[in-house]
Amino acid sequence: MAKMMVSPVQCQMGFPSNSLQGRPMITSKMWNSLLLNAQRPKTRRGISAFKVLAVKSENGVVSRLEDLLNLDTTPFTDKIIAEYIWIGGTGIDIRSKSRTISKPVEHASELPKWNYDGSSTGQAPGEDSEVILYPQAIFKDPFRGGNNILVICDSYTPSGEPIPTNKRHRAAQIFSDQKVIDEVPWYGIEQEYTLLQTNVQWPLGWPVGGYPGPQGPYYCAVGADKTFGRDISDAHYKACLYAGINISGTNGEVMPGQWEYQVGPSVGIEAGDHIWCSRYILERITEQAGVVLSLDPKPIEGDWNGAGCHTNYSTKTMREEGGYEVIKKAILNLSLRHMDHISAYGEGNERRLTGKHETANINTFSWGVANRGCSIRVGRDTEKQGKGYLEDRRPASNMDPYVVISLLAETTILWQPTLEAEARAAKELQLQV
C-alpha cells in the first residue's frame, strides 16, 4: 500500500486542549496517514469550531504558529473574516480571497460586492480586467471558526452583465419562474471524487506506477488494504455539517482511492450553492493533507469505474399520489433533449459513459427500474409506491451543478415537446404517458 507523503510542516484538523503541557510528543512515524479528529468543546457564545494545528514532525514540537491559527478574536473585536469564493475561468476551478467585515452577518445581502483580477483567472482581458463578485450564499467557516464565514459568489462585469462562466445567473432565472417555484424541485446530488498522491498524480493507496487488485473489495470497505483516505472523507463530512451544508452521507467507492458524498435533499438553486461550497471545503482539506483532489470523470483508463455526479430529482407532483405518471412524462422529455443534457453534463464525460462500469452509452438514452446501466434510473420503491423521484446518472463528477439542476427543471417543467415528437419517443421508450 502506498503511504501518504506529507511535508515537514503537517496540518491536523481537530480540537486542541486548553493547554499544550503534557501532550505526548508526535513523531514522524505517527504521520503514516492524516489524523483528523473532531470534538465539540464549549467555547465563548457556545461556538465550536474545527481547529487547525501546524506541527513540526521532525521532533514533535508544536509550532508557535498554532497559537495564531487558533486565535479566537471574538473577545477582542466584532470584526469577522469573510472568504469570498467564486468559480474560475475553466468553469471548474475554485478561487477565493479574504476580507474583513465590520460585524457578523446573517445573510449574503448584508455583504458588500467585491472585485478581482479576471485576467489572472482567464475571465477578462488585461486591459479591462476588473470582475465584480456578488455575494449569494453564506456558510459558517469550519477552518477559522467563530463568526467567520464562507461566501459563495457569482461574477459580473462592472456594468452588471454576468460573465460567461457565471452559470448561477441563468439558473436563478429558471428557479424564479413561477411554474418552477410551484413545483418545489428537490435535488439529491452524489458527488464522486478521486484522491491522488502528490507529484505522481496516481490514486491514493495505489503503488506508484502499478495497480492494486481488481475492483470488488473496495466499495464501502473497511481495512487498511482496501480503504484509502477515510480521514479526509470524515473530516470533510464533519466540516460540511459545521458549515451548514446539507450533506446527507458518504461512502467509499468502487475504485480504490475514490469516494462519494451526498448533498440533499435541497430545494432549487440552493443545491448548487451547497455543492460548490462542499467542493471548496474538500479542496481545502486535501490541501492541508497534502493530497490532490481530482474531479476527472475517468481518472484511470481501463477496467476501473469513472467518477460521476448522479443527480436525484423530483417535483411536487412527482412526490404526490399519481406521481409515477409525472415521472414517466419527465423521462420522455429528458429523452428528447438527451444530447442537450449530455453537452452540458461535464468535460470528458465521453470517457466515462461507455456502457460499461455502471453507465449507459453516451449516445443512447435509456431508462429502467433499479438499472444502474441506464441514463435514468427509477427506484423500486418509487415504482411500488407510484410516486417518488428519478435519478439522472449521466452527469460527470466535474459538472457544474447550477447547469445540471436548472436544465433538469427547465426540461421537465418548462419545456414542452411537440405532440409528434412526444408520441415517437413514447413508442421508442415503451412509455405509456
What would the pLDDT profile of 92-105 be if each residue is shown by its tens digit? 999 999 999 999 99
- pLDDT for residue 52: 47
Helix, coil or strand: residue 91: coil
The number of residues in the chain equals 433
- pLDDT class of 428 with cuts at 50, 70, 90: confident
pLDDT at 118 over 90: yes
Q: What is the mean pLDDT of residues 382-394?
A: 97
pLDDT at 406 over 70: yes
- pLDDT for residue 432: 52
Q: What is the mean pLDDT of residues 197-205?
A: 93
Cα dihedral across residues 413, 415, 420, 426: positive or negative: negative
pLDDT at 272 over 90: yes
- pLDDT for residue 56: 47
Tell me: cis bond preceding 265? Omega within 30 of 0 counts.
Answer: yes
Cell 428557479 maps to which residue? 175
Q: Which residues of 180-202 are buried (b: 16+ CB within 10 A; e: fewer)?
A: beebebbbbbbbbbbbbbbeeeb
Percent of the chain scoring above 90 in pLDDT: 78
| pLDDT per position as a tens digit, 151-191 | 999 999 999 999 999 999 999 999 999 999 999 999 999 99
| Mean pLDDT of the residues in the chain | 88
Percent of the chain scoring above 70 in pLDDT: 85
> Helix %, strand %, coil % for the chain, to 5?
30, 25, 45
Q: What is the mean pLDDT of residues 244-248?
A: 98
Cell of 216: 470488488
Q: What is the mean pLDDT of residues 320-349?
A: 97
Q: Is 103 exposed, middle or buried, given 0-12, 13-18 or 19+ CB atoms closer than 10 A?
A: exposed
- pLDDT for residue 420: 80
Query: What is the pTM (predicted TM-score) of this model?
Result: 0.85
Q: What is the mean pLDDT of residues 55-64?
A: 54
For strands 186-197 and 258-267, give the pairing. antiparallel
| pLDDT per position as a tens digit, 288-298 | 999 999 999 99
pLDDT at 204 over 90: yes
| pLDDT per position as a tens digit, 42-57 | 444 444 454 444 444 4
- pLDDT for residue 16: 38
- pLDDT for residue 425: 76
User: Residue 325 is inside which H or E element, if any?
Assistant: helix 323-336
Q: What is the mean pLDDT of residues 204-212?
A: 94
| pLDDT per position as a tens digit, 122-143 | 999 999 999 999 999 999 999 9
Task: Report how far Cα 298 is from the mean position of its chain's Cα atoms.
Answer: 17
pLDDT at 12 over 80: no
Distance CA 30, CA 20 (A): 18
Cβ–Cβ < 8 Å for 207, 285: no
- pLDDT class of 260 with cuts at 50, 70, 90: very high
Q: 239: which residues sit within 8 A by CB, 6+ positions away?
A: 13, 50, 142, 143, 281, 285
Distance CA 12, CA 53 (A): 5
Distance CA 376, CA 368 (A): 7
pLDDT at 408 over 50: yes
- pLDDT for residue 15: 37
For strands 202-203 and 130-140, give the pairing. unpaired
Q: Which residues of 105-114 are buried (b: 16+ CB within 10 A; e: fewer)?
A: beebeebeeb
- pLDDT for residue 209: 87
pLDDT at 24 over 50: no
| pLDDT per position as a tens digit, 273-319 | 999 999 999 999 999 999 999 999 999 999 999 999 999 999 999 99
Distance CA 145, CA 48 (A): 7
Distance CA 302, CA 212 (A): 13
